[in-house]
Amino acid sequence: MHWADVAAQALAYKGDTHVVSTGITPSGEFHIGHLREILTGDMIARAAKNAGLNVDFVFIIDSADPLRKVYDFLGPEYEQCVGKQLGAIPAPKEDGNPDWERFNNEGWSYANHFLEPFLTALEEIGVRPRLIDNLESYRSGRFAELSKTACDRADEIRETIERVSGRELPDGWFPWSPLNSRGGLDKVRVTGYEYPLVHWQDEYGETGSSDLTKGEGKLPWRIDWPAKWGWIGVTCEAFGKDHGAAGGSYSTGREIVKILGHEPPQPLVYEWISLRGKGAMSSSAGNTVGPIEALRLVPPQILRLLIAKSKPNKAIEFDTGMGLVTLADEFERLAARDFSQELEKEGINRRQKVQIEDAAGAMKMAAVVSGQEVEATAVTFRHLALLAQTKKSDEDVWASLQSSGTIGEVTQQLQDRLNRMRYWIESTHFPEEMRINILSQPNLEILSELTPDEVKILHALLKEFSNCEWSAKAITAAIPRSIESIGVPHKSMAYKVAYLSLMGVEKGPRLAPILVEINQEAIIGLLQASLDALGE
């Protein structure tokens, strides 16, 4: 069984109706790491629906959380917003400073600014949860009853947090954080409580009262989370390993939610996604690849496969270079397999059966539309990358693929794939080892460094290419054959001269598949021009 099916089966033992929840704080640009949480929840919800359960999949926007600091991507004017709730401060302008005019006229908040592109990416990737805005939920009174219980039983909750987390809470701690006189959550001391009011004094010497029923503040995180489980009715939630650590917020939350009168949800702890060579992704540190950017590189099915094929407890390294090529080619191989037929083969052992079922389950979850079969395109990413660099127009790309019998009709899926490939090639993400740069004219500086033997090889290459059939097989044979007549023992010298004269480098991607896609006369002309430049 796929890991999402295993999670769904566990839910089925507990009942027929479930709420699967995920949530994110919109403090900065969303990244691929955030997709792991929401796609994990989405896949569990899909599997549960496939198992016949009634499932509500929700996405909680933690807009009631405060701005922690002025991040590097923000302007200095945000200093006045530190401590205020993300849904209650302006979005940044292009210069990084708060756009007060738009906030005051349209209500366009900091949370909206970072959330909207992520929601656009989710729509494209086939994730359509019910959205719950946390700040609006506080203000509309959805937290009021549970907040009252938390304040009434403050001593029990304090004991739970200290016992489970192993840390001592400060004197004066209270399970409600009131908004201070400037609308922030920082440096405010609770002086009394009489439902629905929590009385306070802030660092500015001001005093006031916070109304729980109007959301004039919020519960601290370790109480906010279980309170959401309670009023929403969450029965399953995926979350990162930091929350799942011993003594972490899930450990305290599963006890606190019982104090609040509800049961904890079934947990699913996931590992981080890191950027190859850069470590764990972080919005605040700027170490990110956003989901919109990723979707410009590869189709949504491939990003879904990235999450679907790895068990949640396995770390994922996201590589926008060769790793993405490998992932895309894996997707095409899996899409071309007939899993039903493989499972019916005689003699397959249990291990093989599990591997087939896991692969089939991953491809089922890779589909943008649930239940829709994922189809292979018959064109690998490597070959499409080659064509996109050697053909001037899309029509030339399709003509090459059609003449080789690789494709028939040009589908929208293929056109979308080529559009993304062209964007990828122009971006900084494209792997240098796949970059093709056939010279338009001889590189005199490089040619002047050729040895006499290498110049002889250049003559021989021109002769071989002028007289061979222009096919990958013939070109492959022609290059090493160029050294036979001049007695050079090392075949590598022939490739070195070919790369230097045609691409200006000593080595690169396989030459024959590249050259066959380029006009033969153009290659012969470049070799002849190189010899002319040397006075040969």
DSSP 3-state assignment of 445?
Answer: helix
Inside any domain, residue 68: yes
pLDDT at 418 > cutoff 90 = yes
Inside any domain, residue 354: no
pLDDT tens profile 276-331: 766 565 555 555 677 888 888 889 999 999 999 999 999 988 888 888 889 998 99
| Claim to verify: residue 31 and residue 88 sit in the same structural domain | yes
pLDDT at 405 > cutoff 80 = yes
| Claim to verify: residue 462 and residue 424 sit in the same structural domain | no
pLDDT tens profile 359-376: 999 999 999 999 998 888
| pTM for this model (two decimals) | 0.89
| Claim to verify: residue 16 and residue 118 sit in the same structural domain | yes
Total domains in the chain come to: 4
Average pLDDT on 80-106 reads 97
Inside any domain, residue 331: no
Domain containing 392: what range? 381-434
Average pLDDT on 1-5 reads 93
| Claim to verify: residue 430 and residue 512 sit in the same structural domain | no
| Claim to verify: residue 230 and residue 208 sit in the same structural domain | no
Inside any domain, residue 345: no
Query: Which three-class secondary structure string do you get for 211-268?
Result: EHHHCCEECCHHHHHHHHHHHHCCCEEEEEHHHHCCCCHHHHHHHHHHHCCCCCCEEE
Strand order in the sheet with 207-211: 188-194, 197-202, 207-211
**Contact assessment for residue 26 and residue 86, using Cβ atoms and an 8 Å cutoff:** yes
| Claim to verify: residue 515 and residue 492 sit in the same structural domain | yes
pLDDT score recorded for residue 282? 57
pLDDT score recorded for residue 230? 98
Closest CA to 42 of 237, 284, 208, 279: 237
Question: Which residue has 């970072």 as its token pair?
Answer: 114
pLDDT score recorded for residue 251? 97
The pLDDT-based confidence of 272 (bands split at 50, 70, 90) is confident
| Claim to verify: residue 136 and residue 229 sit in the same structural domain | yes
pLDDT tens profile 479-531: 888 888 777 667 778 889 999 999 998 888 889 999 999 999 999 999 999 99
Mean pLDDT of the chain: 92
CA-atom Rg of the chain in angstroms = 30
Inside any domain, residue 367: no
Task: Name the most confidently modeled range: 90-104, 379-393, 447-461.
Answer: 90-104
196 cis-preceded (ω within 30 degrees of 0): yes
Residue percentage of the chain with pLDDT more than 70: 97
| Claim to verify: residue 138 and residue 226 sit in the same structural domain | yes
Average pLDDT on 329-343 reads 92
| Claim to verify: residue 190 and residue 60 sit in the same structural domain | no
Token pair belonging to 90: 């302006």
| Claim to verify: residue 240 and residue 109 sit in the same structural domain | yes
Strands 197-202 and 207-211: antiparallel
Average pLDDT on 335-358 reads 91
Residue percentage of the chain with pLDDT more than 90: 71
Token pair belonging to 457: 């090889």
Gap between the Cα atoms of 74 and 79, Å rounded: 9
| Claim to verify: residue 193 and residue 79 sit in the same structural domain | no
| Claim to verify: residue 49 and residue 111 sit in the same structural domain | yes
pLDDT tens profile 251-270: 999 999 999 999 999 999 99
Inside any domain, residue 87: yes
Gap between the Cα atoms of 327 and 335, Å rounded: 12
CATH number of the domain at 249, please: 3.40.50.620
pLDDT at 47 > cutoff 70 = yes
Inside any domain, residue 60: yes
Inside any domain, residue 159: no
Q: Of 412, 434, 456, which residue is a domain's last?
A: 434
**Contact assessment for residue 92 and residue 71, using Cβ atoms and an 8 Å cutoff:** no
pLDDT tens profile 190-242: 999 999 999 999 999 999 999 999 999 999 999 999 999 999 999 999 999 99
Average pLDDT on 75-85 reads 97
CATH number of the domain at 448, please: 1.10.10.350
